[in-house]
Amino acid sequence: TWTTHNVVEEQVAAIRAQVGDKRAICGLSGGVDSAVAAALVARAIGDQLTCVYVDHGLMRKGETEQVEKDFVAATGVKLKVVDAEERFLSALAGVTDPEEKRKIIGREFIRVFEQAQVEIIAEAGATGQPVEFLVQGTLYPDVVESGGGTGTANIKSHHNVGGLPEDLEFQLIEPLRKLFKDEVRMVGQELGLPEEIVQRQPFPGPGLGIRIVGEVTKERLDLLRDADAIARAELTAAGLDRQIWQCPVVLLADVRSVGVQGDGRTYGHPIVLRPVSSEDAMTADWSRLPYEVLERISTRITNEVRDVNRVVVDVTSKPPGTIEWE
């Protein structure tokens, strides 16, 4: 019979048999899939696993700490956090085109991640137990979409640390290959992962970098993080997390409008709320949020977030609008 308990037992045994006394690496994104995959492998092989988390400075409030503290506390996993905020922000300086932002973020991410891998591999090499395995949070729908293959992955070590081979090959560990998203969440729960990680709504890899319309700067990111934290807190308090697929909060950094706040005229930025309901993100409908909830979010954001004097709601379905603004 299918129980999460059995899935965990089976996978733990299979991973132990596969890995033996070798080492494995896993990239953590902050999302559900990589977190559950890492937790399963950690359960199986303990500190033979090292996780890598790249902090690109584009995460929402509290997300990096959630990985650093809560995830580590729940799994005991060995974690390497790479603080790459400055690198990402300088690469993004002056860039406003959405596709260009995405390309830059993707490129920098791979560079930083590979550099971290190379360092871990070099450290492990000194112990005589090479890193031969790469953990990936591939789900069943991903397997079907990509034609069902399993196998190996390469990293190219163009950084040349510690005399590593030019082109390293890993065997893949994919403990979630037979599971759907809801099953992955249940397995995460069984493994004792924090609710905030297991029940996380989708969040794009490029993070808040594609939720600032205009140039991405530290100041604007901080402002958006504050607004986003308020929206998330109020949606959660209203018990709406399960009804909403996700709710991007977008800063229109290149737009200003006139407002009146306190006893003066302001000239601030609008924040857009983009709550949607969806089955698979291919199509989406805008969520009819209760007016009281919208009112609370609007009042709090305009009172508490500097330079924001207007909150608007996106009432466009997908199509024609995408869920994200960039």
Interface residues toward ligand XMP, by CB under 6 A: 202, 204-206, 246, 281, 318, 322-324
SS3 190: helix
The CA distance from 17 to 4, in Å, is: 20
CA distances from 102 to 88, 207, 255, 289, 301 (A): 11, 10, 21, 30, 27
Closest distance of CB 242 from ligand XMP, Å: 16
Tokens linked to 249: 């909060």
Residue 35 in marked binding region: yes
Closest distance of CB 117 from ligand XMP, Å: 20
Contact 184, 36 (CB under 8 A): yes
Residue 106 in marked binding region: no
Closest distance of CB 204 from ligand XMP, Å: 3
Q: Which is nearer to ligand XMP, 215 or 324 (CB)?
A: 324
Q: Which is nearer to ligand XMP, 181 or 318 (CB)?
A: 318
Spatial CB neighbours of 268, under 8 Å, sequence gap ≥ 6: 256, 257, 259, 261, 307, 308, 309, 310
Rounded to the nearest 10°, the torsion over CA 169, 173, 178, 182 is: -120
3-state helix, strand, coil in the chain (%, to 5): 45, 20, 35
Q: Which is nearer to ligand XMP, 200 or 269 (CB)?
A: 200
Residue 47 in marked binding region: no
Closest distance of CB 260 from ligand XMP, Å: 34
Tokens linked to 94: 């002056």
Closest distance of CB 231 from ligand XMP, Å: 15
Residue 32 in marked binding region: yes
Q: Which is nearer to ligand XMP, 137 or 268 (CB)?
A: 137
Residue 128 in marked binding region: no
Q: Which is nearer to ligand XMP, 31 or 125 (CB)?
A: 31
- Residue list, annotated binding site for ATP: 29-35
